[in-house]
Chain A
């Protein structure tokens, strides 16, 4: 019997081989993507490690985030819950001085953040936004000034006249 058997078998084998090739191709692609991504990440991590080395070489890590009299020395921010979230998200473009000069409600802080995200290149803050805003309204509350403040912190000195 010059049967169909070998032919059908051939078909089955060819099909199986095709499937295998497809699978191999998929694995290759996935692997490649994985590898490329990995290389990319490794590069970024490498650059980060260089930066870290530079940072660590220049001064010791302990002093870096030193707190003195309740103040984070490097930024001048008050040491309280949320401090490091504010330090890492809010002090890279401008100094913390621009932040601590301001006294705002939560609503206005959120608006300010939205404005910076829209126009100044600030990134999405996710869950950190609430931490940041809470830190700001708690530690930098606004004080009533009225229509005119009294003169404060006068440095008295003798004037010969």
Chain B
């Protein structure tokens, strides 16, 4: 069966199934609902212009991750950028009529800008920003954590161009009791219920007012691809990617912690450490802010068989709000570590690049482990960090397997 045909069948089946189980819901959906899968040509790689090596974790909603070796570029190209969707990719977006509204209890006034106004009225800035899914590495937790089982590839560092959120907020005026901002986008909930938002998260005012927090309209110098948030995306480097809301048309300035969808029950970790598998009450969970220090060996691809005794490696390291201060690697499971140079970030919140030439004493099986340390002196653990119910913040060392002939 051809892939396209298969998707078509799968989508139609949902109708039949719904009609079988719940006629009212089914007949409502039947009218005027063209599933996204039916619209695109062929497969997600063509649909979203992704590298064929990307791994599809879920096709409805689309959740697709990179592999370490696909992330070798200093600035991640679209082809290697992971996709995390909570709902359905919006359809029929018109940038010419797009507006952004600032509202909320703590906005001095409610104000709406057209996209053209945003672009002409405010100064443009470009930053390279490391954006990582809070659940990157979830697949390693034991007991397993619920959700998409991301391995290592839910991170990217693209170049984003846009206007500073703080410039807009200052133009609108914010009251002194402002605590948090919350974004709203136009993606649809999986159930197609128009009253449900798939995701509406945000960040405290301090993060919202940072220079690097942008409302972006360009990614790597071009219009943002649809699946990554065209025509307007909030980008907040160093924080869980879920803060970087896509298809944004409204930002609410709140007088309390934003209470949108996925602010409760998600993107939180226990405020105090817990034993693996322990139940944690919602009120004992704290919202994730900065992501922890982490690194990836992006070259060579794991599984290389080499004949010489030396090998060049390359990769990136990042540290949420902080900078990476030290980079090391080990070929003996942590008995010894060798430092290697780590470059300065292109700008604050960009990932940093490292490279090294690794020497092997004799032939055999090796693993190269990489370990970054942030400017506070916190290093990546070799083992999994503290277990948490939703499987966030796994920043354990990345490693690749090598055979020396």
**A residues near B, CB below 8 A?**
43-44, 47-48, 50-52, 54-55, 58-59, 63-64, 73-75, 87-89, 91-95, 97-98, 101-105, 108, 112, 115, 119-121, 123, 142, 144-149, 151, 154-159, 161
- Asked if A93 contacts B17 (CB within 8 A), the reply is no
Contact code string B117-141 (vs A, CB < 8 Å = 1, else 0): 0000000000000000000000011
- Asked if B148 contacts A101 (CB within 8 A), the reply is yes
Complex Cα spacing A157 to B12, Å: 41
Complex Cα spacing A47 to B304, Å: 57
Complex Cα spacing A103 to B8, Å: 28
Complex Cα spacing A115 to B264, Å: 12
- Asked if B148 contacts A47 (CB within 8 A), the reply is no
- Of the A-B pairs whose beta carbons lie under 8 Å apart in the complex, a sample of 10, sorted by A's number, is A52-B16, A88-B17, A88-B20, A92-B14, A94-B58, A101-B148, A120-B190, A148-B382, A151-B302, A154-B302
Q: Which residue of A lies closest to B56 (CB)?
A: A97
Q: Which residue of B lies closest to A84 (CB)?
A: B17
Provide the residues of chain B in CB contact with A142, threshold 8 Å.
Answer: 143-144
The 3 closest A-B pairs by CB, nearest first: A121-B191, A159-B304, A145-B142
Besides A47-B30, A74-B10, A154-B401, 4 more A-B contacts (Cβ < 8 Å) are: A51-B16, A94-B190, A155-B303, A157-B303
- Asked if B302 contacts A92 (CB within 8 A), the reply is no
Stretch in contact with the other chain, from B161-169, B305-313, B321-329: B305-313
- Asked if B1 contacts A108 (CB within 8 A), the reply is no
For chains A and B in complex, what number of residue pairs have CB atoms within 8 angstroms?
144
Q: Which of B30, B58, B396 contacts A51 (CB 8 A)?
A: B30
Interface residues of B in 273-302 (CB under 8 A from A): 300-302
Interface SS, A side? loop
- Asked if A103 contacts B144 (CB within 8 A), the reply is yes
Provide the residues of chain B in CB contact with A123, threshold 8 Å.
Answer: 21-22, 25
B177 contacts the other chain (Cβ, under 8 Å)?
Answer: no
- Asked if B303 contacts A87 (CB within 8 A), the reply is no
Task: State the Cβ distance, B218 to closest chain A Cβ, in Å.
Answer: 31
Q: Which of A54, A87, A101 contacts B17 (CB 8 A)?
A: A87
Provide the residues of chain A in CB contact with B60, threshold 8 Å.
Answer: 93-95
B265 contacts the other chain (Cβ, under 8 Å)?
Answer: yes
Provide the residues of chain A in CB contact with B111, threshold 8 Å.
Answer: none
Interface residues of B in 160-191 (CB under 8 A from A): 189-191
Provide the residues of chain A in CB contact with B384, threshold 8 Å.
Answer: 147-148
B27 contacts the other chain (Cβ, under 8 Å)?
Answer: yes
Task: State the Cβ distance, B30 to closest chain A Cβ, in Å.
Answer: 6
B19 contacts the other chain (Cβ, under 8 Å)?
Answer: yes
Task: State the Cβ distance, A159 to closest chain B Cβ, in Å.
Answer: 4
Q: Which residue of B lies closest to A115 (CB)?
A: B265
Q: Which residue of B lies closest to A98 (CB)?
A: B58
- Asked if A59 contacts B5 (CB within 8 A), the reply is yes
- Asked if A157 contacts B401 (CB within 8 A), the reply is no
Complex Cα spacing A114 to B327, Å: 45
- Asked if A161 contacts B312 (CB within 8 A), the reply is yes
Task: State the Cβ distance, A143 to closest chain B Cβ, in Å.
Answer: 9
Q: Which of A47, A102, A146, A161 contacts B142 (CB 8 A)?
A: A146
Q: Which of A43, A58, A101 contacts B9 (CB 8 A)?
A: A58
- Asked if B304 contacts A157 (CB within 8 A), the reply is yes
Known: A47-B30, A121-B193. A101 touches B14 (CB 8 A): no
Task: State the Cβ distance, A6 to closest chain B Cβ, in Å.
Answer: 58
- Asked if A120 contacts B304 (CB within 8 A), the reply is no
Q: Which residue of A lies closest to B138 (CB)?
A: A101
Complex Cα spacing A54 to B25, Å: 18
Provide the residues of chain B in CB contact with A161, threshold 8 Å.
Answer: 306-308, 310-312
B227 contacts the other chain (Cβ, under 8 Å)?
Answer: no
B383 contacts the other chain (Cβ, under 8 Å)?
Answer: yes
B91 contacts the other chain (Cβ, under 8 Å)?
Answer: no
Known: A58-B9, A159-B306. A148 touches B148 (CB 8 A): no
Complex Cα spacing A154 to B265, Å: 35
Q: Which residue of A lies closest to B198 (CB)?
A: A120
Complex Cα spacing A50 to B26, Å: 12
B77 contacts the other chain (Cβ, under 8 Å)?
Answer: no
- Asked if A157 contacts B140 (CB within 8 A), the reply is no
- Asked if A148 contacts B5 (CB within 8 A), the reply is no
- Asked if A104 contacts B144 (CB within 8 A), the reply is yes
Task: State the Cβ distance, A106 to closest chain B Cβ, in Å.
Answer: 13
- Asked if A108 contacts B23 (CB within 8 A), the reply is no
Provide the residues of chain B in CB contact with A103, threshold 8 Å.
Answer: 144
Contact code string B388-405 (vs A, CB < 8 Å = 1, else 0): 000000001001010100
Provide the residues of chain B in CB contact with A115, threshold 8 Å.
Answer: 265
- Asked if A91 contacts B17 (CB within 8 A), the reply is yes
